[in-house]
Amino acid sequence: MLGEIHSQYPDRDTRAMAAVSRIQRAAFLIEAGMSRTAAKAGLNLREMLLLAALRRAGPSFSLNPAQLLKECFAPSATLTRQVDHLTALGLVERKPDLTDRRSVLVHLTRQGRKLFDSIVTLGVLLEEPELQAANGLTSAEIDALNRILHKLLRLQEVEGSRRAAKQSAAPRKERATKTVSS
């Protein structure tokens, strides 16, 4: 594919495109493996990621919905459905936030911790070939990959913040123009 792109655009440097294509393909394969792992636990991938975020929250095993949205990259309606489903399964519960009476926390129950820990400690995640592939990298390669992906994500977040700032500034400019011309 990259050879075909390069043949169509021989004057362009396609190395970054090659890297992005490989990241996208690897992400697709990893997501497929993680989705199969989640299904073995009776969950979908987003639900498993939500449990993972709560498990990483430390001894409280609780996050507020805004924190979960940030952790899970899910639209708010999707997150609500996931929390509802996980609540029905007894894996999470909603509790009042003692530091903010207007808010609630989503708390990982003992049953939720037990399920998630069984996925991790029994190596269920590593049963999937796409996920085992990372074990073929050396420690130095994993460290280098982590550094590079961390930098790429930081650059993407900065660009995303710039784009959001421009988009939120545009309506203000339009309102100001309309007010002045009225």
Domain ranges of the chain: 2-136
Q: Are strands 104-108 and 62-63 parallel, antiparallel or unpaired?
A: antiparallel
- Is the per-residue pLDDT at 139 higher than 70? yes
Distance CA 51, CA 74 (A): 13
Query: Can you spell out the DSSP letters for 84-138?
Result: HHHHHTTSEEEEE-TT-TT-EEEEE-HHHHHHHHHHHHTTGGGGSHHHHGGGGS-
Confidence label for 77 from pLDDT (cuts 50, 70 and 90): confident
Residues 153 and 180: their CA atoms lie apart, in Å, by: 41
Average pLDDT over residues 105-122: 90
Percent of the chain with pLDDT over 90: 44
Give CATH for domain 2-136.
Answer: 1.10.10.10
pTM higher than the cut 0.95: no
Q: Tell me the HSE value of 167 on the side-chain side, using a 13 A CA sphere.
A: 6
